Amino acid sequence: MTMRKSVPVSVGAMIEDLRALVETESPSGDVTALKASAGVVAGVIEGRLGGRAVLVERGGLPHVHWSGGGEPRVLVLGHHDTVFPLGTLERRPFAVADGRVTGPGVFDMLGGLVQAVHGLAALDDLTGVEILVTADEEVGSRTSRALIEERALACGAVLVFEGAADGGGLKTARKGCGTFEVSVAGRASHAGLEPEAGINALVEAAHQVLDIAAFGRPELGTTVTPTVASAGTLDNVVPAEATVLVDVRVETAEEKDRVEAAFAALTPHLDGARITVRGAVGRPPMPESASLRLFAAARRLLPGLEGRAVGGGSDGNFTAALGVPTLDGLGAVGGGAHADHEYLLVDAMAERAELVTGLVRAIRNG
């Protein structure tokens, strides 16, 4: 059991902690940078909440876990990796001006982490609260998924601190999402002397792109979008290889199964060409039903709060798919995720931190 003296929410203190996180760059996949970032995250948690934040290494990556002791009741979930490469901070430093905080990762999702910690610091009893901050959400949560699911099932309720939806709304449903890689193997030949002796992987890939684009069902919320293609070596060589990457978003488990089956059934158009498909809808859909109870509690605390269904995925998809009540989008109010104009609204920070305080109380009171 963790009993402590509560601390009123302070925007100045939140900005101080946010600066520390942002100025420790944490690009996904950079193990050295992520270990430094995890240390700063752990320090912020310990400094504001007491206790000990443990670095849990999975697949070589550092995930941060903290517990207030007692029977687990609520999991506060976030990530400290960002999409921005090392050096972004020099070009786009942390700044506070005109009511906005800017810098790499302020909205997605370092601002949300800080608000969560400070909202918890306003409680005098942290029993039953757990925090898990992972290091690979931006690249599919491959090393952290099992840990996320384990703690979600143990706690029975999950609050996800991804950035808010437009206008500050919470994210009450999310599409399932995944990436497919379609590789084409053909045969090289001289493009001028004997093009007919080759099997043009680029032409085959073009056929596949048209077939794949037809898998989408916008009326059902299913989008299938070819996004990256590569082929060939020189302009006078019939390309022997080509690769196409495809982004997939679905609203239902039935559509997940249909789209995965459609990819598995792809066949070549050109004689002799071969196709290999890798990938899946790795993040299952987060249905609105998963958030109903927690969103109702949030609305009681902030009556004007809106809920939104969104296309992007998060670790909340995993917890909701387990049947664990999950509420997402509790983090920073702002915008520009993954973009140079990313920002957080200072005026919303205190209210969002106080929402954390109220939600945790409501969950523990049953």
Give the pLDDT of the chain (366 residues) as one tens digit per residue. 566 678 899 999 999 999 999 999 999 999 999 999 999 999 999 999 999 999 999 999 999 999 999 999 999 999 999 999 999 999 999 999 999 999 999 999 999 999 999 999 999 999 999 999 999 999 999 999 999 999 999 999 999 999 999 999 999 999 999 999 999 999 999 999 999 999 999 999 999 999 999 999 999 999 999 999 999 999 999 999 999 999 999 999 999 999 999 999 999 999 999 999 999 999 999 999 999 999 999 999 999 999 999 999 999 999 999 999 999 999 999 999 999 999 999 999 999 999 999 999 999 988
Same domain, 21 and 166: yes
Same domain, 216 and 118: no
Q: Residue 232: give its domain's CATH number.
A: 3.30.70.360
**Residue 3 included in any domain:** no
Same domain, 170 and 181: no
The pLDDT assigned to 5 comes to 78
Same domain, 64 and 170: yes
Same domain, 145 and 34: yes
Same domain, 77 and 191: no
Domain boundary among 283, 303, 338: 283
Same domain, 235 and 190: yes
Same domain, 170 and 182: no
Same domain, 83 and 55: yes
Domain boundary among 231, 250, 283: 283
**Residue 260 included in any domain:** yes
Same domain, 151 and 192: no
Same domain, 171 and 69: yes
What total number of domains does the chain contain? 2
Same domain, 131 and 236: no
**Residue 298 included in any domain:** yes
Structural domain that includes position 292:
11-175+286-364
Instruction: Map the chain to HEC letters.
Output: CCECCCCCCCHHHHHHHHHHHHCCCCECCCHHHHHHHHHHHHHHHHHHHCCCCEEEEECCEEEEEEECCCCCCEEEEEECCECCCCCHHHHCCCEEECCEEECCCHHHHHHHHHHHHHHHHCCCECCCEEEEEECCHHHCCCCCHHHHHHHHHHHCCEEECCCCCHHHCEEEEECEEEEEEEEEECECCECCCCHHHCECHHHHHHHHHHHHHCCCEHHHCEEEEEEEEEECCCCCECCCEEEEEEEEEECCHHHHHHHHHHHHCCCCCCCCCEEEEEEEEEECCECHHHHHHHHHHHHHHCCCCCEEEECCCCCHHHHHHCCCCEEECCCCCEECCCCCCCEEEHHHHHHHHHHHHHHHHHHHCC
Domain boundary among 240, 255, 283: 283
Q: Residue 30: give its domain's CATH number.
A: 3.40.630.10
